[in-house]
Structure 1
Amino acid sequence: MQSSQSQVPEIVKKRMIQLCTLLESFSKEKITSQEIKALTGWTDSTIRHDFWLMDLKKGVSNGYFTAELKAELEEKLELKADEESPKKNLCIVGLNRLGAALLDENMFSDSGFAIKAGFDTNLYRVEILRSSFPLYPASQMDFVIKKEKIEYAVLTVDSKNAQSMAEKLSKAGVRGIVNMTDTVLKVPDNVKVENVSVLTALKIVS
């Protein structure tokens, strides 16, 4: 029996999300397994295994229709918002240079996520920065997150404040945190953390 999507390993989901991104700029009508291999660097067995776990059904004898493969992956990974699956609400916590760079809502326009708020402990930043969504002092996080039904957060604060902010996000009801700091966060089991620190990534690749 085919595995359900909830049983698909996280590493497979990450690869499939990466593939979705690559398919956005793939101009040919069809894509073959060899072309997927060339784009991603994955082995033939990895591609076959991942596609089997994802229960992909849009294949043809000589590959996949690019648009159909991308659409099927987006549906299975719940990456695309529609009437039945509205956008997931998101907030930015930390409006330093890194956080401020994320204030352009256009980068999330086709992502399935909608930024509802930005937070910072520095009131000056809150007052001078401009964005298409409201910016608030960090002291209002609990109220705003619950009011706007925000479930996900991107954490870009200074590392020394990361754990305390993660605790506030967890208590406010956030289900997932993208941690762009160097701090290893301790959160409840029902809160998922994805670590994407640039410095950590550089150390790994070097």
Structure 2
Amino acid sequence: MRQEKKVKDRPAIALVLFFCLAALVAVFAVTSTVNKVRDNLQIDKAAEVVKKKSVSKTSENTAAEVVDSQDSKSSGSNSSASFIKPLSGEVIQKYSMDMPIYWETLDQYMTHDGIDLAAPAGTSVKTCASGTVTRIEKDDRYGMIVEISHGNDLLSLYGNLAEDGLVELGEVVSRGDVIGKVGKTSTFEASGAEHLHFSMKLKDEPVDPGKYIKGL
């Protein structure tokens, strides 16, 4: 009787063992999958870190290239060797955007975005470098002015000019070409010696002409 019961229990035991084995296999499979997902996440995170570092490095290199490119331009067509003084007069008022200076006509202290070169009215004014005449107008501060673009966002401006004998708007000029003559049209600098007001701008911001022209 007992023997028959053992024989009958064998299929049940085998079935239980089968389910246990299946459960173990399932647990192993799930564990393996979880581990793979975890490993993939770690790999993705590592790849993302490497990617960010690569992008950061690329940005640094790009910035460096831009600086090098600007330096190259400065040493090329916009170097000091490419510019000359618009006339040979003495500097009677220096460029001073960091420190206000005294303006005799206005009787007050203000910054000065260019330089003043002493010269009698009627003295020929030459362009400091080759370029295109982009503006001719009567300015409230510096009187009759001529603006010339030299490329690379660099401009030169000539103020306190006479109203006659001016270059034409849109005209292409070469370094040393006469573009006008010294006048008496400036309202802010009417007092003092007769002179040319000369200034330069890079990307619409005043820059010291002395950085481009020797002797200023």
Q: TM-score range by the shorter chain?
A: under 0.3
Which of the two has higher C-alpha Rg?
2
Structure with greater proportional strand content: 2
TM-score by length of 2: 0.23
TM-score by length of 1: 0.23
